[in-house]
Amino acid sequence: MKVNNLTQSAVFITLTLIILYFSSILPINTLSILTIASCLIPICVIKISLRNAILVYVSSTILSFLILPIKFSIYYGAFFGIYGIIKYLIEKLNSLFLEIILKLISFNLLLTFSYLLIKALLGLNNINISLFTFIILAQFAFLIFDYALTLIISFYLNRIHKHV
C-alpha cells in the first residue's frame, strides 16, 4: 500500500469520526449528518480504491465503537458506512432496474440486521407505528437517501474531484 493512499485513508477515517461525533452532539437531524458521513466511503472509492474504502469503513466503525456513543456507532457500522461500498458494487452493473432491486434487497437485509443489533445491544423494542407501515416508509426513506447520496457523489465528481 502506498504511503499516499494510507495517508488519504487516515484523513477519511478522521473526517468520518468527526462527522459522527457531530451527529452525537448537535441537536439537528441525525440522519442527515449520518448521510454526510456515508458519502465519504464512495468518495474514498473514487479517490483511492475499493480496498482502501473497505479499510476506512472497518477502521471508522471500530474506532467509533471505542470513542462515540454506541447508538451512532451501530447506525454507521450497520448501515451508513457499508452502504457506500454496496452502492458502488451494485452500480457497476449499469442496469437501472436491477440496481434498484438489488439496492432495495440490500437495504432490507441491512435494516433487519440493524434492527436486531439495536434490539440486542440497546434493548430498544418500541416502534410506535405498525411494522408494515414502518417497512413501507423505510423503503421510501431509503430511496430518498440513495438519491441524495448519488447527488452528493455527482457534486463531488463534477466540482471537487478534478481540483483535489
pLDDT at 121 (0 to 100) = 76
pLDDT at 70 (0 to 100) = 87
Tell me the residue range of the domain where 106 lies: 3-163
Instruction: Cell numbers for 96, please give them.
Output: 437501472
Q: How far apart are CA 60 and CA 9, in angstroms?
A: 10
Q: How far apart are CA 97 and CA 113, in angstroms?
A: 24
Total domains, the chain? 1
pLDDT at 161 (0 to 100) = 86
pLDDT at 125 (0 to 100) = 63
pLDDT at 124 (0 to 100) = 65
Nearest to 113 by CA among 90, 148, 86: 86
Tell me, letter by letter, the H, E, C secondary structure of the chain: CCHHHHHHHHHHHHHHHHHHHHHHHCCCCHHHHHHHHHHHHHHHHHHCCHHHHHHHHHHHHHHHHHHCCHHHHHHHHHHHCCHHHHHHHHHCCCCHHHHHHHHHHHHHHHHHHHHHHHHHHHCCCCCCCCHHHHHHHHHHHHHHHHHHHHHHHHHHHHHHHHHC
Low-confidence spans in the chain with pLDDT less than 70? 1, 124-127
